[in-house]
Each structure stands twice: as C-alpha cells, then as structure tokens.
Amino acid sequence: MLTPLEIHSKEFKTVFRGYHQDDVNDFLDQVILSFEALLRGEDTPKLTLEEIANCEFRVEMRGYHRDEVNEYIDQILDSYQELLQQHAPQTIAYEEDHPEQIPLYPSVQPLSYPVNQRRITPEEIHQHEFVQAPHGYDIQGVNDFLDQIIHDYSEVLLENTELKKRLKQYEERLGRTW
C-alpha cells in the first residue's frame, strides 16, 4: 500500500506532450491530504475513489509521461481502496453482550465506542495490526483500539462486581459463606 510520503516523493519522467506538471502535482497533493485524513481516522475523506479514478490533466508541450502517471493513479486507487476498507466499520467477531448487562459509568465509557457493540476477543487483540503512518503508527487508530479494549475491560470489571454481589446475596440466603 502506498503511503502519503511515497506519493509525495514520486517523480515522473518528462516527455514531449505529457500531462501538465502542476495539474498532476496539485492532484497528488489532494490525494495525500485524503490519505492523511483517513489515517487520522476522519470519517469523510477529501476525495472519493470515483474522483481519483476520473481525474483529468491538461496536456502541455513538456509534461509528465502520461502512461506513467496513469499507472501510478491505478496504484493510488488500489492503495486508497485498501485504506478505505481498513477504516470501514469493523465487522470482526465479538462475544455477544447481554441486554441485562450493567451499563458503564459515563466517565469510563469512551465516546468513540458504541455502547451495544460486541466485545473484542483476546485473539483479536493479539492479531490486530495498526496502520503504519508516515512517522510511525496512526495515533487515532491506536487510540480507538485502546479505547475499545478499555471499554470492554471496564464492562468485565463491572460485571464481575455485580456477580460478586449476587453470589454474596445467594450465599446469605443459603446461610453459607466460602
């Protein structure tokens, strides 16, 4: 997958009757902004796949090699589509939450995590891969993932506390203690 840094660093051959260099460079700047927005976790990218696929450039006397630019746009489309899929709502398997579950305290519940979502499993935590950003990992992606873990862990702690209370009540009714 291409990164914003790779797109920024891309150089094209110049040829007679090629694509207008400023048009291509300006378009690539917009693509970079869209990649970075997705990597930051923004829901609405600056460009759509359709806008990238339908980009057009003027032809000038001495410009970028048209076939080379077109092939690179295809690579950008593939990478952009992959990035969009990575940032689509997760459809990974979770253990089902129970409707009678104790809600989290508002101070514990992260805002970015849906309340009625299923829990992440330990295997998914272990196998999760973060998106590599130009200068390390995508901070928003890491934070969202950690918020999800905090949310699930907080629910487990609350459930555990409630189960301990119920167990104590049953023990008191039965007149036993462990």
Length of the chain: 178
- Cα angle for residues 127, 128, 129 (degrees, 5° grid): 115
Identify the band that residue 86 occupies on the pLDDT scale cut at 50, 70 and 90. confident
Kindly list the domain boundaries of the chain, sorted by start residue.
4-86, 92-178
Q: How far apart are CA 56 and CA 62, in angstroms?
A: 17
Is the predicted pLDDT of residue 91 greater than 60, yes or no? no
pLDDT at 104 over 70: no
Higher pLDDT, 137 or 72: 72
The span from the CA of 150 to the CA of 163, in Å, is 20
Task: Name the token pair of 61.
Answer: 């006397």
- 48-75 mean pLDDT: 93
Tens of pLDDT along 9-29?
A: 899 999 999 999 999 999 999
Q: How much is the average pLDDT of 109-125? A: 55
The per-residue pLDDT for 84 is 81
Q: 165-170, long-range: CB within 8 Å, 24+ apart, which pairs?
A: none
> Mean pLDDT of all residues in the chain?
76
Q: What is the pLDDT of residue 150?
A: 77
